[in-house]
């Protein structure tokens, strides 16, 4: 079973991973965006870790809804409201129990990803974070390690796609040949589950 501490570790590991990879995320956002994805998420997850320490929510749902709210209020770019919605909706789906199963997390994360698609209007293949998140959620019933691999594959598979949502879509065919920054950061978020589980 996964308790509030697991979800706190998930957010802390994501923050560390975003911090390590911030330059790469910003570099990916430079040919097909405005070169701020790394700094956007860095700012957001620094705030998430600080707020979680201060308010110390004691349920899995509480940790994720607070993290989501914090991202929405601290990240200006498109990715803030989108990741914020992902975590907030996932947290809401987990309810207010003290422990959840991996299966409950998989179901809740699916609800979170659906909410991101509803908010941003992106479908799989549009070259966004959805291209990493959907395969990750599909693989989550197998294991965290499988979900991480699926997210990384999904992110790599955005390279030959033409962007149909977000800033990169303004480039039309010129968006082809670059890996999507948001799909890349989504693979960091999912990869951090493995770290949180100590696998
Ligand atoms: P901005 O585009 O406002 O500068 P960021 O650079 O932080 O914001 O985030 C860009 C990423 O957000 C993209 O790489 C893409 O994965 C994701 N994104 C943008 N628009 C959408 C959308 N409508 N649905 C899902 N993801 C999106
Ligand atoms: Mg950007």
In tens, the pLDDT along 160-191 reads 999 999 999 999 999 999 999 999 999 999 99
**Please, which residues have CB less than 5 A from ligand 2, an ion?**
29, 33-34, 36-37
Percent over 70 (pLDDT), the chain: 100
Ligand 2 geometric centre to CA of 29 (Å): 6
Q: For ligand 1, is residue 74 a contact (CB within 6 Å)?
A: no
Q: How far is CA 78 from CA 5, 68, 72, 94, 198, in A?
A: 29, 14, 10, 25, 31
**How far is the centre of ligand 1, averaged over its atoms, from the C-alpha of 154 (Å)?**
16
Mean pLDDT over 138-155 rounds to 98
pLDDT at 139 over 80: yes
> Measuring from atom 21 of ligand 1, which residue has the nearest CA?
166
Q: How many domains does the chain have?
A: 1
The boundaries of the domain holding residue 172 are: 2-196
CATH, residue 138: 1.25.40.340
Residue 76 — very low, low, confident or very high, per pLDDT cuts 50/70/90? confident
């Amino acid at each position: 079973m996964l308790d509030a501490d697991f979800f706190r570790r998930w957010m802390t590991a994501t923050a560390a991973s975003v911090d390590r990879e911030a330059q790469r995320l910003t570099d990916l956002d430079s040919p097909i965006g405005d070169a701020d994805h790394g700094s956007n998420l860095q700012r957001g997850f620094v705030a998430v870790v600080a707020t979680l320490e201060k308010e110390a929510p004691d349920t899995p749902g509480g940790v994720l809804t607070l993290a989501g709210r914090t991202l929405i209020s601290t990240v200006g770019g498109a990715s803030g409201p989108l990741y914020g919605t992902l975590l907030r909706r996932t947290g809401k789906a987990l309810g207010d129990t003290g422990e959840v199963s991996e299966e409950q997390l998989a179901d809740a994360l699916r609800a979170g990803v659906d909410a991101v698609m509803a908010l941003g209007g992106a479908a799989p293949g549009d070259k966004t974070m959805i291209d990493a998140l959907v395969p990750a959620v599909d693989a989550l019933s197998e294991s965290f390690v499988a979900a991480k691999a699926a997210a990384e594959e999904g992110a790599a598979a955005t390279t030959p796609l033409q962007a149909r949502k977000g800033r990169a879509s303004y480039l039309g065919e010129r968006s082809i040949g670059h890996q999507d920054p948001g799909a890349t950061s989504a693979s960091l978020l999912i990869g951090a589950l493995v770290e949180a589980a100590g696998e």
